[in-house]
Structures are given as C-alpha cells and as structure tokens.
C-alpha cells in the first residue's frame, strides 16, 4: 500500500507495476479473512497406557467460517516420552488434508505419571493475513498414567499352603471343596451325600469321598523404592533396579490375580508408604498398577513395618528390592519373624558394574561385595533370595516354601 | 517440502537478491550500501520470518527502485515485482508454522499457485503503463486525484479487520 501511494504521489507508473503483486496479495488476504475466532480442542486419545504403548495427541479445530487454511501443531514432549514425528511438528492444509492428520503420536518409554503439555497450535487464513495462536496454559496439561510393562513371568510351582477355606487353589488339607481327594471309610459326622456307593457295596462297609479344601492365597507384594540403582534407559534400554522391581511386581500381580488369588501391595516410595489391601479381580489389578505407576524413588525411607489390613498369617510376602539398604533387610527379617512366608527378589541389575566410568563400575563391584554378607544373613533367617530372571525364576524358591510348609503342617 | 527454512528461507533471500539484480539491470547507478543492507535484512528475515523485517526489505527495495531507476516502461519492473512477490509470499508462508514443520504437498501447491496468480497482473499493469505512457497521465490532476481516492478507499476497506492476530482466552 505504501509503495502504491508513493507511486501515485511520485507519479511513477513503473513503481505501480512493482507494487501490483503486493497489493493483489493484500486484497486477497483481506477477502479471505475469517469473521469469527476458531476454537481448538486438544486431548490425549488414551490417558492410561503401558510402557512402550503409543497413543495420539489429537488436535481438533472448529472453524465456523471455513476460512482457516493452514494449521500447524508444535508438540514438545519431555522426559520419558517419544513422539512421532520426531520433532513433534505437524502442519496441514485444512481444506485439502482435513484435521484428521493433526495428531502427534506419543509413546511413554518408562512407567510413571507423565505430564503432557498442550501443543502450540497456529491456525492461519489465506496469505497468513489472520493468525490464531493457541496458548499453552499449564491448566490444560494432561496426566498420562503409564503402567509398568509386566515382565514375562510364569510360576509352575505348587501354591504355598496357607490357612483359608475359600478360594481357587487346592489346599493340601481335606475339606469341603470341589476337587476329589480320596475315598476313605465312613466316620461319624460324615455327610450321607458323600457316601460312595460302588465302593461301599463292594467292600460291605460304608465309604465316603473326600475332597480337597479350596483356599484363598494371600500374596503381598512389597516394592522397595528406597534405592533406584543404575541408569534407566526406559522400556527400550537398560533397566534400573526400580524398573526391574516394578515390572516384576506387575508380572507377579498379574499372574496371581489371573490365578484367582488375593494380592496386596505395599509400595515404599518417595511419596510415602502406600498400601493396598488384599483383593482379587482385574479391577484390583488396575488399582495395583496405578499405585505402582506412582512410585518414585525415595530419598529417605519411612517405614512403620505395617502390612495392609486383612493379611492372613502365613501369607506369601514377596519383596522386590535391590537389598542395598539396611531398612529393607530389617523389614525382611521382621516379616519372617512374624510367620509370613517371605521371598526376596533381588532387583539389583546384573549389568550395574558395566558402567562407562571405570570408577563407578568399581564402586558398584565393591557395593556388591559389601552386600554379600547381608544376603547370607537374610538366607540364614530362612528367607529365599532369588534374582529376577523372568518366567520360572521364582519356581525353585516357591517349591522350597511349599515343601517347607507341607512338612511343617505334617509335623503338626 | 521437508523443512521450513531450507525452502522458504532460501526463497526470501533469493527473492531479495533477484529484486536487487533487476533494479541494477534497470538503472545506470547502484548503491552498494543499500544493497548490502537489503541482503543482510533478507537474511535475518529468512532466519526470523515472524519479525516485521520482511516488510522493511520490500519497502527498501521499492524506494531503492524509485531512487535509481528512471525508465518508466522498463520491463525489469516485472521481474522486480515478481521478486518482491516472492519475498512477500515466502515470508508469509514461513511464518504459518513453527520452525522445522514439514509441509504437506497440498500446502506447497496452494502457495505456489497463489504466488503465480498475484505475480501475473504485473505484466498486465506494465502493458497498461506502456499503453497510457504516451498520453502523459502524470500531468493529469484528475487522474492523480482519482488514483488517490481509490487508494484511500482501499486502505479504509482493508483496515476493517485486516491482519488481526488473536489468541484464545485462558480456561476458567
């Protein structure tokens, strides 16, 4: 416009030629301007994921005039979130491409609660004459809850016998269950409907069928987040001790919940000790995973040594810990003294001494040597200490606990 | 178009240099300091298209043309016009998205089509200038008044809601 005015005032027609495209684009831009402000909605497609799973941060733009032409999205993730496109930048031509493509794929690579900041969205009309910029208000931040990815786990060992009468597992004791155990001679007090007529007729004496009692197994998972030893590389890299502990805890919880057992959780983390009472079912599994996802390493451990309410004596307590702190070792001893069947899973990463810094590597080797006498002391208490190796890694220890319990109940 | 600067930023710089080259071709004299200033400002615009320095580049080239070129019907005015249109389009295109945002083919096609569309009328204007040049329109006060009135009306019309930049209000 300035050039056009100058051309007229200076009476220079050649400058008018120079100004023509600029004037044309200015007029075109004004003609295409929107009359109302577009509205932008952006949200996570899934607020809860497992490590390594991906979701999308989707942006929707409502433009009543259909005058917005170009929309650009800039999404900046931080921490343990990968994004696709790698820079988190997407631009589309709204009339041609639609707003379906206005999405950034995000993938949390580590468990935890990740705060996802809203994306910067820039919408512009023709010739960029009108521009609408969304602000990244902190209140629009969304929490992405990422559950630990359960490690591969399976246990073929027989269940550890616990006192209990109702449940999915066969008790070594006879009782009112559904699974056949044996046929024995009738005794006063036996129910008449239990009489096994074929054997009774053949032998001439009354015989009854007996069944194994069904029992509930209470499993307490105790996660020690006092130390997070080693560097975490997320789901695709190396695991720290807390990564191992939580992924193993998730796998164990899933295994026992699938078996119909009641699982309780004690998570000793920086935000305090969180306890979940024993329960079964997949809703409870989700609660367990939610608490696990909110664990973060503690700088100081406050542990009152209490277990969740409702834990039966003789419950199986599985503690996941790098066993570096004296508090964790003390807790194991106390639990064993209280009559629980205790199993300690050593979560110290095997690669921890393979550090690039030779001094750090040496320090970890020394720390491991210092830990050995303590581990022997724990084993001396009758507590099995096993390293986590995935499927079947607890079988030997669980068989040992089962055998020990059967012998003890037989002695009684 | 893979990234923003490699293409749009380069086009801003190329447009400015082409405009200066056309001006130099159309005139007998040159002002090296002004040319250097334009190139430096174009480079900054290429790096930071959100700033209003691109407007200054266009104005500076226009006034440089006014000061150095005497021939009213020179065809170099068309190339200068196209070069300035390139600077303008590339600057506008570069500022529609944050840095390093990949463009879709549809966006590239639309911006290219529009650049060609706004550049084409320059030739028509040039032909009109040649046609009316013999009639010496510069000495007609009526034509001057009419032209000023048209420009004033266009300015008032464009002022109404033009080039607004808004942003959403905070959530309650």
Task: Please tell me if residue A12 touches chain B, with a CB cutoff of 8 Å.
Answer: yes
Query: Does the distance separating the beta carbons of B85 and A21 come in below 8 Å?
Result: yes
Q: Does A306 contact B at CB distance below 8 Å?
A: no
On whether residue B145 sits in a domain, the answer given is no
Q: Which residues pair with A42 in a beta bridge?
A: A59
What residues in A contact B146, CB-CB < 8 Å? none
Question: What does the pLDDT read at residue B157?
Answer: 73
Exposure string of A168-181, with b = 16+ CB inside 10 Å and e = fewer, is ebbbbeeeebeeeb
Considering only CB atoms, B102 lies closest to which of A23, A85, A134, namely: A85
Evaluate whether residue B80 is within a structural domain. yes
Question: Which residues does B2 contact at the CB level (< 8 Å), separation at least 6?
Answer: B102
Q: Is residue B116 part of a domain?
A: yes
Alpha-carbon gap, residue A196 to A205, rounded angstroms: 10
Q: Choose between A358 and B89: higher pLDDT.
A: B89
Look at residue B152 and tell me if it is in a domain: no
CB contact under 8 A, B170 and A137: yes
B153 inside domain: no
Residues from chain B that touch A130, judged by Cβ atoms under 8 A, are 163-165
Residue B47 lies in a domain: yes
Please indicate, yes or no, if residue B62 is contained in any of the structural domains: yes
What pLDDT digit, counting tens, does each position of B118-137 carry?
A: 999 999 989 888 887 776 66
B75 contacts: CB under 8 Å, gap ≥ 6: B126
CB contact under 8 A, B97 and A122: yes
pLDDT at position A262, please? 86
Spatial separation of the C-alpha atoms in residues B120 and B114, rounded to whole Å: 10
Q: For the domain bounded by A218-411, which CATH number is listed?
A: 3.40.50
Which residues in chain A are closer than 8 Å to B122, comparing Cβ atoms? 17-18, 20-21
A21 chain-B contacts, CB cut-off 8 A: 81-82, 84-85, 88, 118-119, 121-122
Q: Which parts of chain A register pLDDT below 70?
A: 136-139, 153-177, 213-216, 299-303, 391-392, 401-412
Range of the domain at B130: 4-134
Confidence grade of residue B110 (pLDDT, cut at 50, 70, 90): very high
Task: Report pLDDT for A388.
Answer: 83
pLDDT band at B155 (very low <50, low <70, confident <90, very high): confident
Which residues 26-55 of A are in CB contact (within 8 Å) with B?
26-30, 33, 35, 37, 39-40
Q: Is A308 on the interface with B (CB under 8 A)?
A: no
Pairing of strands A218-224, A262-269: parallel
Inspect the interface and report whether the beta carbons of B65 and A15 lie closer than 8 Å: yes
Closest Cβ–Cβ partner in A10, A22, A72 for B84: A22
Helices B53-68, B10-26: crossing angle, 10 deg rounding = 10
* Degrees, nearest 5: CA angle A142-A148-A149: 120
Q: Do B96 and A35 touch (CB under 8 A)?
A: no
Residue B67 has pLDDT above 80, yes or no: yes
> Which residues are paired to A383 by β-bridges?
none
B76 versus A134: the higher-pLDDT residue is: B76
B-interface mutation test, from A7, A15, A17, most B Cβ less than 10 A away:
A17
Question: Mind listing the pLDDT tens digit for each residue in A230-285?
Answer: 888 888 888 899 999 999 999 889 988 887 788 999 988 777 788 899 988 889 99
| Residue B172: band (very low, low, confident or very high) from pLDDT cuts 50, 70, 90 | very low
- Interchain pair B106, A97: CB under 8 A: yes
State residue A302's pLDDT score: 66
**Sign of the alpha-carbon torsion through B38, B43, B48, B54:** positive
Quote the CA–CA distance of A219 and A394 in Å, as a whole number: 14
Among partner residues B69, B93, B102, which is closest to A89 by beta-carbon distance? B102
Q: How far is CA B138 from CA A69, B10, B74, B129, in A?
A: 41, 38, 17, 11
- Kindly list the domain boundaries of chain A, sorted by start residue: 2-31, 39-147, 174-215, 218-411
Q: Does A136 touch chain B (CB under 8 A)?
A: no
Q: Given this model, what pLDDT does residue B99 score? A: 78
What are the φ and ψ backbone dihedral angles of A123, each rounded to 5 degrees? -115, 135
What helix, strand, coil percent values describe chain B, rounded to 5?
75, 0, 25
Please, are residues A324 and A348 in contact by the beta-carbon 8 Å criterion? yes
Please name the member of B59, B118, B147 whose beta carbon is closest to the beta carbon of A8: B147
- Which residues have CB under 8 Å from B129's CB, separation 6+? A13, A14, A16, A17, B72, B73
The percent of residues above 70 in pLDDT, for chain B, comes to: 84
pLDDT of B171 > 50? The answer is: no
Question: Any residues with CB less than 8 A from the CB of B47 and at least 6 apart, and which?
Answer: B5, B9
Q: Is B35 among the domain residues?
A: yes
Task: Count how many domains chain B has.
Answer: 1
Q: Does A56 touch chain B (CB under 8 A)?
A: no
Give the CATH class of A39-147: mainly beta
8-67 of B, contacting A, C-beta below 8 A: 58-59, 62-63, 65-66
Of A45, A207, A57, A249, the C-alpha closest to A241 is A249
Judging contacts by C-beta atoms under 8 Å, the chain B residues touching residue A24 are 117-118, 121
Please give the ipTM for the structure prediction. Answer: 0.84
The answer, for A253 touching chain B at a CB cutoff of 8 Å, is: no
Label residue A15 exposed, middle or buried (CB < 10 Å: 0-12, 13-18, 19+).
buried
* pLDDT at B164 (0 to 100): 47
CA A204 vs CA A197, A199, B57: distances in Å: 10, 8, 115
E strands, A189-250, are 207-215, 218-224
What's the predicted TM-score (pTM) here? Answer: 0.72
- Say if the Cβ atoms of B77 and A18 lie within 8 Å: yes
Tell me if B26 sits within 8 A of B71, measured CB to CB.
yes
């Amino acid at each position: 416009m300035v050039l056009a005015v100058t051309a007229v005032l200076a009476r220079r027609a050649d400058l008018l030629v120079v100004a023509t495209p600029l004037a044309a684009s200015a007029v075109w831009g004004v003609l295409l301007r929107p009359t109302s402000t577009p509205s932008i909605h952006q949200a996570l497609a899934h607020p809860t994921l497992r490590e390594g799973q991906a979701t999308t941060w989707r942006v929707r733009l409502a433009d009543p005039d259909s005058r917005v032409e170009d929309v650009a999205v800039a999404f900046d993730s931080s921490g343990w979130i990968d994004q696709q496109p790698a820079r988190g930048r997407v631009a589309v031509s709204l009339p041609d491409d639609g707003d379906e493509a206005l999405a950034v794929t995000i993938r949390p690579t580590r468990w935890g609660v990740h705060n996802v900041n809203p994306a910067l969205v820039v919408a512009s009309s023709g010739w960029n004459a009108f521009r609408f910029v969304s602000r990244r208000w902190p209140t629009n931040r969304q929490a992405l809850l990422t559950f630990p990815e359960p490690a591969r786990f399976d246990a073929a060992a027989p269940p550890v016998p616990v006192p209990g009468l109702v449940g999915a597992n066969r008790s070594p004791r006879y009782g009112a269950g559904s699974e056949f155990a044996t046929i024995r001679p009738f005794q006063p007090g036996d129910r008449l409907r239990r009489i096994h007529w074929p054997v009774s007729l053949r032998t001439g004496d009354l015989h009854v069928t007996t069944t194994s009692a069904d029992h509930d197994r209470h499993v307490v998972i105790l996660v020690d987040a006092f130390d997070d030893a080693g560097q975490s590389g997320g789901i695709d890299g190396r695991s720290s001790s807390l990564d191992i502990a939580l992924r193993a805890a998730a796998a164990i919880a899933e295994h026992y919940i699938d078996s119909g057992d009641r699982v309780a959780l004690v998570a000793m983390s920086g935000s305090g000790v969180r306890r979940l009472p024993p329960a079964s079912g997949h809703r409870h599994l989700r609660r367990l995973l939610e608490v696990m996802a909110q664990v973060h390493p503690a700088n100081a451990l406050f542990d009152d040594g209490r277990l969740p309410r409702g834990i039966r004596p003789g419950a199986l307590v599985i503690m996941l810990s790098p066993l570096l702190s004296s508090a964790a070792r003390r807790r194991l001893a106390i639990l064993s003294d209280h009559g629980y069947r205790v199993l300690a899973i050593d979560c110290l990463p095997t690669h921890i001494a393979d550090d690039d810094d030779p001094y750090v590597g040496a320090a970890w080797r020394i720390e491991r040597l210092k830990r050995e006498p303590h581990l022997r002391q724990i084993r001396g208490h009758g507590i099995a200490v096993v390293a986590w190796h995935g499927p079947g890694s607890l079988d030997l220890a669980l068989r040992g606990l089962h055998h020990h319990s059967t012998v003890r109940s037989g002695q009684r | 178009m893979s990234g923003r600067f490699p293409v749009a930023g380069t086009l801003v710089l190329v447009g400015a240099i082409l405009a200066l080259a056309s001006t130099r071709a159309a005139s007998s004299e040159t002002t090296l300091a002004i040319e250097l200033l334009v190139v430096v400002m174009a480079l900054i615009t290429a790096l930071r298209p959100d700033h209003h320095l691109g407007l200054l580049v266009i104005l500076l080239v226009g006034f440089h043309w006014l000061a150095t070129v005497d021939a009213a019907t020179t065809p170099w005015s068309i190339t200068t016009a196209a070069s300035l249109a390139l600077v303008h389009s590339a600057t506008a295109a570069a500022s529609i998205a944050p840095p390093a945002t990949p463009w879709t083919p549809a966006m590239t096609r639309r911006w290219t089509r529009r650049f060609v569309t706004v550049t084409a009328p320059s030739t028509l204007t040039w032909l009109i200038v040649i046609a009316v040049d013999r009639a010496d329109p510069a000495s007609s006060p009526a034509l001057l008044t009419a032209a000023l009135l048209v420009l004033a009306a266009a300015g008032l019309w464009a002022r109404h809601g033009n080039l607004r930049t808004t942003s959403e209000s905070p959530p309650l």
